[in-house]
Structure 1
Amino acid sequence: MRALIQRVERAQVEVDGSVVGSCGEGYLILLGVAPEDDEALVERLWRKVAALRICEDDEGKTNRSLADTGGGVLVVSQFTLYADARRGNRPSFTGAARPELAERLYERFCALAEADLGAGRVGRGVFGAEMRVSLVNHGPFTVLLDTDELGWSSSRG
């Protein structure tokens, strides 16, 4: 599983010209799912994101988490985080999970965020839709969390 986290002043996602999800100060999270990922891995990743201290304190140091700031999140599914462009110029996406699994785990991640932060602080994209994502990046500050690189594995593997 991969989460590309951008600290934002605000972010929103549109589908067919209508805003379907947004957040104020907090994180835009682009979430990619791999075929071997499962619910246990989703829960572990959410806990890591929620505890991540990338928000500024009163002295401008990155010492605060979402819980400390009262920030929100906008979560957008992003299978292209598993793009493989090592061969040729057209990326392959075979490293991404099939849509049925990816959607289930994406929804679980969003549900965990809502349970922790409250539904009013969590915006969502529309799984599988053509989306327009806009944001004002604060920093810019972007972090990539890759569960493989963190040494985590699914309970199946």
Structure 2
Amino acid sequence: MKGIVQRVSAAKVTVGDELVSSIGRGLCVLIGITHNDTEEDVEYLVRKLLSLRIFEDTSGKRWQKSVKDEKLDILCVSQFTLYHRLKGNKPDFHMAMQGESAQNLYSTFMQRLGKEYDPSKIKDGKFGAYMQVHIQNDGPVTIELESPVKKSKENKEES
């Protein structure tokens, strides 16, 4: 599971002309799910996301506070294209988890995030929709988080 985390002054998601959700200062997180991700990956990403220190403290010292410390907003957007491979110049997305399985794990991620943080501070895009994501990056600050790669059962048995 991968998250591209951007510290933002504001962010919003629209589908066509409809505003789906918007936040003020906080984090916009693009979430990618690969075919072998599990709830362990969800837990890892939620823990890292909420403890990531990318905000300044009251004295202006950088990299001291987390989104949770500052009680800021989080906008999450599912983005299967994070798990791509290029075949020549064309992206291939076979590493991304497909359809209902991806939607279920993304829902688990959102629920876990709400359990570990204030649910009223968490916003969402629209899973599977063609979205426009408007991000006003603050800094700019962009951090990539990725859950540890697990060996498949076959590889574990060979080790």
The two structures have a TM-score, normalised by structure 1, of 0.90
Is the CA contact (8 Å cut-off) linking 1:37 and 1:154 kept in structure 2?
no
Q: What percent of counterpart residues are identical?
A: 37
1:82 maps to a residue whose letter is Y
Contact kept? 1:41, 1:153, Cα under 8 Å: no
The whole-number CA distance in structure 2 between the counterparts of 1:79 and 1:114 is: 22
CA–CA distance in 1 between the matches of 2:149 and 2:73? Answer: 26
Contact conserved, 1:13 with 1:22, CA < 8 A, in 2?
A: yes
Match of 1:80 in 2: 81
Amino acid at match of 2:77: V
* Cα pair 1:40 1:154 within 8 Å, conserved: no
Q: Is the 8 A contact 1:20 1:126 kept in 2?
A: yes
The answer on whether the counterparts of 1:26 and 1:73 sit within 8 Å (CA) in structure 2 is yes
Work out the CA distance in 2 between the residues paired with 1:104 and 1:154: 22
For 2:62, the aligned partner's letter is: K
Equivalents in 2 of 1:127, 1:26: separation in Å? 21
Cα shift at 1:66: 1.2
Distance in 2 (CA, whole Å) between partners of 1:38 and 1:76 is 18
- Structure 1: segments with no counterpart, 5+ residues: none
CA RMSD of aligned residues (A): 1.7
Secondary structure class of the residue paired with 2:64: strand
- The verdict on how the C-alpha distance between 1:154 and 1:106 changes in structure 2, with shifts beyond 3 A counting, is farther
Instruction: Tell me the equivalent position of 2:33.
Output: 33
- In the alignment of these two chains, the number of paired residues is 153
CA distance in 1, matches of 2:16, 2:64: 38
Q: Which residue is equivalent to 2:68? A: 67
Describe the superposition over 1:27-79 as per-residue Cα deviations: whole angstroms up to 9, x where unpaired.
10000000100112101210111011111123241110112111110000000
Give the match for residue 105 of structure 1: 105
Q: Which has the larger radius of gyration?
A: 2
Match of 1:50 in 2: 50
- Write the distance in 1 (CA, Å) between the matches of 2:21 and 2:151: 29
> Counterpart of 1:13 in structure 2: which amino acid?
V
SS across alignment from 2:28: strand
Other structure's SS at 1:91 match: strand
